[in-house]
């Protein structure tokens, strides 16, 4: 979470440009019913970009940005929709993910950039994402949902009972990450093979990257990469893409590039994992060095941190808390904004002090949708604290159903009352880990080389995945490998 991130709601982001008749798909050449106009696709991309940036932030690396722009523009020109003004961005997230929104906006996280081991792997995923745009998968998926009367659902981690309480702008962003069908994913994999091959890269490396994804998801304690969470099994995709690459190169013989060393040199110094300045959890506390604040995280709760907000939830999904910036210049203005934005009916409104900081505490019920039956299981109750600290106003919300709220409110209150300043220099000056590219000094195994560079045992598994190798894989003197350092 970053200082004073301004979130804007996307008005009508999922509105449909209603067209009658059939449209010819640019990739398949087939006529199909599409209920979203090309103009609406372009508008969605332009309208959604500010919210994506507000939610995730952009990663500042001019050289790496220039690289993805260069390859992206080259691929856009040979795509099925060369007329689109494609735009490419690296977002500041450790999650292994890449995604595209209608109109030609394509995003890579720094997490996925750190896990690529050559330019060809990157090009394959780039082709896959551009394929979603050129094949108009968002428009086709939305049309299918509308015809089938299926509501669009944001892919939030939190349980359905409390899903409605997330930050509104974040919900708008999450709604962009529509779960494409398996047919769409398979189609984009095939397109990715073709596009990356046409700009000169070996698509067999794209297949190898699915092996990396499979290893990340299989590793104990690590979350499934978002890039493949709603996709077909990465092991199956690896085999299929391998076959597609072989078929393409048999039909179109040529010298296809991999460019391993060139890519590794490009990512030397990229941040790996969480960036402490955006906040981190340690010893049961959430710390934010830039904002100089902290508060407790309940034991056993799962959490997710973004530049816009920090959210945490019990494993049973029956309660959650959200921390974000408050709106307005005063506590009263911030409280009124919360009430309006979340459609709250306030039962209690008290001015309090939390560790010397003026605050407002609210207990509210979230008004249900018109016609919704207001049972205890369906009704959402919210405990909110607006806290004035360090020149800013912060909001902490505890959310549960009416049936379970009384069992959770004391824990919500304990978290809010634990909000306080941070002065520990070890917290305030914490530095992120970065990828450091090193040259193998003697032939042997990857594990031996990593130990030569004093990599701790606890990091060896991660480093094997980062390098796209097994620890017992042989490395030769003079090879480049990834290590970790400050």
Lowest mean pLDDT among 11-25, 62-76, 204-218, 265-279: 11-25
Return d(Cα 441, Cα 308) in angstroms, integer.
43
pLDDT of residue 376: 56
Q: Is the pLDDT of residue 451 over 90?
A: yes
Residue spans per domain, the chain: 22-272, 276-428, 433-485
Domain over 276-428 is classified CATH 2.160.10.10: no
Q: Is the pLDDT of residue 154 over 70?
A: no
DSSP label at residue 238: H
pLDDT of residue 145: 34
Do residues 363 and 381 lie in contact, with contact meaning Cβ atoms separated by under 8 Å? yes
pLDDT of residue 217: 80
Q: Is the pLDDT of residue 313 over 90?
A: yes
Q: Is the pLDDT of residue 357 over 70?
A: yes
Confidence band for 7, pLDDT divided at 50, 70 and 90: very low
The predicted-structure confidence for 214-223, as pLDDT tens digits, reads as follows: 898 887 443 4
pLDDT of residue 81: 93
Q: What is the CA radius of gyration of the chain?
A: 24
The predicted-structure confidence for 45-103, as pLDDT tens digits, reads as follows: 788 888 888 888 899 999 999 999 999 999 999 999 999 999 999 999 998 989 888 88
pLDDT of residue 24: 54
- Quote the longest CA-to-CA distance of the chain: 73
Pairing of β 285-288 and β 293-296: antiparallel
User: At CA 270, angle to CA 66 and CA 443, rounded to 5?
Assistant: 110
Q: Is the pLDDT of residue 151 over 70?
A: no
SS3 of residue 482 by DSSP? strand
Greater confidence (363 vs 187) lies with 363
> Which has the closest alpha carbon to 402: 363, 376, 369, 366?
376
DSSP label at residue 257: B
Q: Is the pLDDT of residue 385 over 60?
A: yes
State what percent of residues in the chain have pLDDT above 70. Answer: 77
Q: Is the pLDDT of residue 415 over 70?
A: yes
Query: Going along 34-127, which residue ranges are E strands?
Result: 87-91, 98-101, 105-109
Across the chain, what does the average pLDDT equal?
A: 82
pLDDT of residue 42: 78
Do residues 363 and 383 lie in contact, with contact meaning Cβ atoms separated by under 8 Å? yes
Confidence band for 37, pLDDT divided at 50, 70 and 90: low
Strand partners of residue 175: none
Greater confidence (55 vs 138) lies with 55
Do residues 110 and 274 lie in contact, with contact meaning Cβ atoms separated by under 8 Å? no
Copy the structure tokens of residue 103.
């109109």
pLDDT of residue 55: 82
Q: How far is CA 36 from CA 14, 106, 133, in A?
A: 10, 19, 13
Over residues 242-257, the mean pLDDT reads 96
Over residues 332-349, the mean pLDDT reads 94
pLDDT of residue 317: 85
Q: Is the pLDDT of residue 17 over 60?
A: no
SS3 of residue 360 by DSSP? strand
pLDDT of residue 418: 98
Is the pTM value of this prediction over 0.85? no
pLDDT of residue 30: 54
Greater confidence (149 vs 439) lies with 439
Polymer length of the chain: 486
pLDDT of residue 36: 59
Q: Is the pLDDT of residue 470 over 90?
A: yes
């Amino acid at each position: 979470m970053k200082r004073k991130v301004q979130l804007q709601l996307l008005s009508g982001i999922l509105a449909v440009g209603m067209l009658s008749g059939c449209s010819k798909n640019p990739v398949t050449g087939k006529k199909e019913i599409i209920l979203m106009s090309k103009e609406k696709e372009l508008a969605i991309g332009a309208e959604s970009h500010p919210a994506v940036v507000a939610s995730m932030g952009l990663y500042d690396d001019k050289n790496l940005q220039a690289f993805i722009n260069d390859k992206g523009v080259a691929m856009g020109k040979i795509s099925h929709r060369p007329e689109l003004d494609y735009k490419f961005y690296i977002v500041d997230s450790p999650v292994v993910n890449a995604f595209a929104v209608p109109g030609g906006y394509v995003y890579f996280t720094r997490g996925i950039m750190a896990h690529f081991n050559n330019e060809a792997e990157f090009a394959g995923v780039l082709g896959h994402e551009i394929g979603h745009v050129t094949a108009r998968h968002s428009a086709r998926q939305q049309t299918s949902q509308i015809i089938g009367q299926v509501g669009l659902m944001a892919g939030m981690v939190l349980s359905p009972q409390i899903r409605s309480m997330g930050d509104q702008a974040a919900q708008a962003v999450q709604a962009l990450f529509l779960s494409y069908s398996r047919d769409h994913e398979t189609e984009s994999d095939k397109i990715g093979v073709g596009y990356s091959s046409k700009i000169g890269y070996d698509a067999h490396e794209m297949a190898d990257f699915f092996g990396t994804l499979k290893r990340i998801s299989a590793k104990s304690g690590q979350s499934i990469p978002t890039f493949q969470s709603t996709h077909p099994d990465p092991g199956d995709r690896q085999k299929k893409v391998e076959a597609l690459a072989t078929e393409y190169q048999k039909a179109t013989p040529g010298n296809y590039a991999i460019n391993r060393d060139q890519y590794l040199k490009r990512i030397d110094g990229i941040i790996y994992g969480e960036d402490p300045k955006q906040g981190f959890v340690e010893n049961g506390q959430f710390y934010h060095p830039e904002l100089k604040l902290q508060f407790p995280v309940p034991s056993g709760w799962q959490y997710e941190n973004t530049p816009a907000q920090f959210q945490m939830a019990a494993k049973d999904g029956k309660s959650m808390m959200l921390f974000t910036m408050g709106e307005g210049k005063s506590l009263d203005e911030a409280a009124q904004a919360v009430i309006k934005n979340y459609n709250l009916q306030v039962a209690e409104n008290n001015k309090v002090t939390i560790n010397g900081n003026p605050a407002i505490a609210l207990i509210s019920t979230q008004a249900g949708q018109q016609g919704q039956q207001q049972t205890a299981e369906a009704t959402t109750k919210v405990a909110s604290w607006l806290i004035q600290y360090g020149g800013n106003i912060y909001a902490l919300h505890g959310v549960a159903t009416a049936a379970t709220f009384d069992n959770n409110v004391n824990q919500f209150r304990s978290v809010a009352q634990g909000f306080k300043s941070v002065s520990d220099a070890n917290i305030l000056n914490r530095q992120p880990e970065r990828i450091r590219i090193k040259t193998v000094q003697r032939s042997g195994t990857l594990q031996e080389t990593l130990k030569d560079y004093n990599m701790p045992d606890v990091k060896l598994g991660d480093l094997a995945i980062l390098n796209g190798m097994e620890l017992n894989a042989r490395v030769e003197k003079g090879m480049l490998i990834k290590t970790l350092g400050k």
